[in-house]
Structure 1
């Protein structure tokens, strides 16, 4: 067991008073059992459920990688890294994924972290290169492993697992039950912790069928969005083209929306999520990429512009609302010409939206861009101090701050933006002049 003196402060650092039932059971089971399959809905706190016992399993006497966490997407990996860093342990963590500079990763791994988080393709690449030693890795986590299987990472995961000879603990994590565990994982007769069915029984999710008079449902969507009392929502579509078309339409109508899908450059995807997280954007139009594994806020409203083919994806989408004890609503836009989904009961209550009387209120915050980040020794406290002292802002004027490697983003009250930029125009932060301006919107990828 780890005797790190900070262990009692981990929850305090995360701003959590106590663990939920799933997290308590998972912590105990992971510490005591060799093979664990944790099934729990999106938003239930699975990341912390496996990170806490991993912390206790780490040995501070070992100068090498002790735990490998494989994830299907860079976004999920970045979220896990963020939670680990917030825990405030003394252990180093590194993340590796496609689209990230491999030279930077190799340099970071030259001083071995205790934990590596990565996507299967990039981790397999590092193992091929011999970037880090594997003889101290005893714990393997496959987070959202069903998604990795769905994306076709069988070969990479098999390659990786075969090269981990000292593994004595394997943890599989998913928000979907009924997934067949591949033999190459060597997970035999795992202890199964299934919190999915229990959560479904206690669900506070209500569903509304929203009929559309027109085959093109976009105007009905607009009316629905305007009826949500200016509350934020996620809008799910099945195709990337539809995502961008709907986002453009809503924006042209005066609604603060942005888009998110797998065909975007990584920088643009991060920018979209940052602006949605911090409240600068109220409506995120997306594919199923945002259905799980992303650090985005609890929603009261989830809108299905298209229904997914599989019921499990429908469930994951709805997992963005009505989490834990909160309530939420899923809206299904439907035209009579559409083929009905077998998994949906179309006798649910209907919501007929009327002509728009008023647009949703604009967001309270706007995002400010700063051309410096962690690698420039810029911290959240530096930004807060600078904006307070030189920018003349007050405590309630600043919202969420996100500091990346070389850039930062700050949510600032919309009505304070002009004065802030005027006040700091010729000022330096920590002795250096940075570009500070209103962050641009997400840019569409040029079709070559």
Structure 2
């Protein structure tokens, strides 16, 4: 695909063959208008929808920061950074978020990337430190801006906007209809709305599961019913998330957990294991409802229903993504009343009394103590594991290379033998710690 300014985007590298209707409309609207509000469901491809016009707007001859994307969470920031890199625009991006090494970010910002993506607190910190010059930033995008407000970032975002005095194009992005905050000074935006009525996902099926007094027993039976397919289990509280994971493990079901109080490295490892299929079930708070790069999600389970309809929408957006099909299960008693935000009558599922426990994943995740800064890339790891570990290509799954560490999915039945074979081997002349990630 070729955009104006001769910027060519390789859609195949992004895993798609063509833009969907929302992406086409958003691309056109953002290029042609100075104020745009993009409303589209979670999982519909919003990130690409606003990055495509950015790639067209950026000026190759400029050696200044030209565009900023502000997001509520580090996970969303990292996802946007990865999409941008896959687009192969030739323009540099820097990702800034709390928990990341400040000096690493400052060194990257000194080189003036064309695009900065980050969370409000960290970006404001850099502005106050004068880590970069903002006077050439002409495009500002607030992605999931409603979530940023919900998390209490209004003051930070307001100060950021006040400091960016030469912004000519403002884009607000959300999966739900939300009032435009006054600090944006947006007066008459063009709205691209794929949230209301007919534009909602047609691939989603909502099912009510008749629960026993002990909902955990019902959850175990439901996971057994679903089998070996990736499933997100949503709860309202962190304690519930950890309790579900612990109880399921006691039942012999491997279930990871994910919430905002985990350290960044723990969150990243958990998502990697879930993304590559090493762990099939993930119990999570609403932090996982938005902005996480988790492809091929089959099922979402509402162990506890959220208080607000918006969060119900966001949770369900983790499945039936990009026009695929998926199912959202609600665990409720037969007599319980559905909240008003659930439109229509869900299908009812009465689980069989006897079910075999879900099988263990075919994959395990291998941890490697080196990454990009050690000059390792995916091909290095593939070659090493195939040649020294005696694996076949079909024994290797998803490989992710980070700055200082890497992870590779390996068939469970081959992992231990492979680890023994490579225990004394070097990769690119260096010995790395390689073990099964926990």
Q: What TM-score do you get using the length of structure 1 for normalisation?
A: 0.94
Q: Is the 8 A contact 2:370 2:376 kept in 1?
A: yes
Q: Is the 8 A contact 1:175 1:196 kept in 2?
A: yes
What does residue 443 of structure 1 align with? none
Counterpart-to-counterpart distance in 1, 2:291 and 2:204: 20
Return 243-252 or 104-113, whichever deviates more: 104-113
Summarize the Cα distance change of 1:286–1:136 in structure 2 as closer, same or farther, 3 Å threshold: same
For each residue in 1:305-352, what CA deviation from the matched residue of structure 2 results, as whole angstroms up to 9, or x when unmatched?
000000111111111122343222211111368675232369533212
What does residue 428 of structure 1 align with? 426
Q: Is the 8 A contact 1:41 1:199 kept in 2?
A: no
- Are residues 1:165 and 2:165 paired? yes
What does residue 195 of structure 1 align with? 194
For each residue in 1:229-275, what CA deviation from the matched residue of structure 2 results, as whole angstroms up to 9, or x when unmatched?
32221100011000000011111111121000111111111111100
- Are residues 1:208 and 2:194 paired? no
Give how far 1:184 is off.
1.1
CA RMSD of the aligned region, Å? 1.7
What does residue 238 of structure 1 align with? 236
Report the secondary structure of 1:227's partner residue. helix
Question: Residues 31-70 of structure 1: matches in 2 within 5 Å?
Answer: 31-70=31-70
Counterpart-to-counterpart distance in 2, 1:232 and 1:43: 16
Q: Is the 8 A contact 1:226 1:360 kept in 2?
A: yes
- Are residues 1:146 and 2:138 paired? no
Report the secondary structure of 1:126's partner residue. helix
Give how far 1:89 is off.
2.1
Q: Gapped runs of 5+ residues in structure 1? A: 441-448
Give how far 1:361 is off.
1.4
For each residue in 1:13-47, what CA deviation from the matched residue of structure 2 results, as whole angstroms up to 9, or x when unmatched?
32321111111111111111101101000111111
Return 385-394 or 68-77, whichever deviates more: 385-394
What does residue 113 of structure 2 align with? 113
Report the secondary structure of 1:36's partner residue. strand
Question: Residues 172-191 of structure 1: matches in 2 within 5 Å?
Answer: 172-177=172-177, 179-191=178-190
Q: Is the 8 A contact 1:209 1:346 kept in 2?
A: no
For each residue in 1:269-320, what CA deviation from the matched residue of structure 2 results, as whole angstroms up to 9, or x when unmatched?
1111100000000001001111111101232211110000001111111111
Report the secondary structure of 2:301's partner residue. strand
What does residue 393 of structure 2 align with? 395
- Are residues 1:306 and 2:304 paired? yes
For each residue in 1:375-415, what CA deviation from the matched residue of structure 2 results, as whole angstroms up to 9, or x when unmatched?
11110111111111111111111111111110000001111
- Are residues 1:331 and 2:329 paired? yes
For each residue in 1:73-103, what CA deviation from the matched residue of structure 2 results, as whole angstroms up to 9, or x when unmatched?
0000000000111111211111111111212
What does residue 444 of structure 1 align with? none
Q: Gapped runs of 5+ residues in structure 2? A: none
Return 238-247 or 418-427, whichever deviates more: 418-427
Counterpart-to-counterpart distance in 2, 1:427 and 1:100: 31
Counterpart-to-counterpart distance in 2, 1:340 and 1:11: 41
What does residue 91 of structure 2 align with? 91
Residue of 284, 287, 292 corresponding to 2:285 = 287
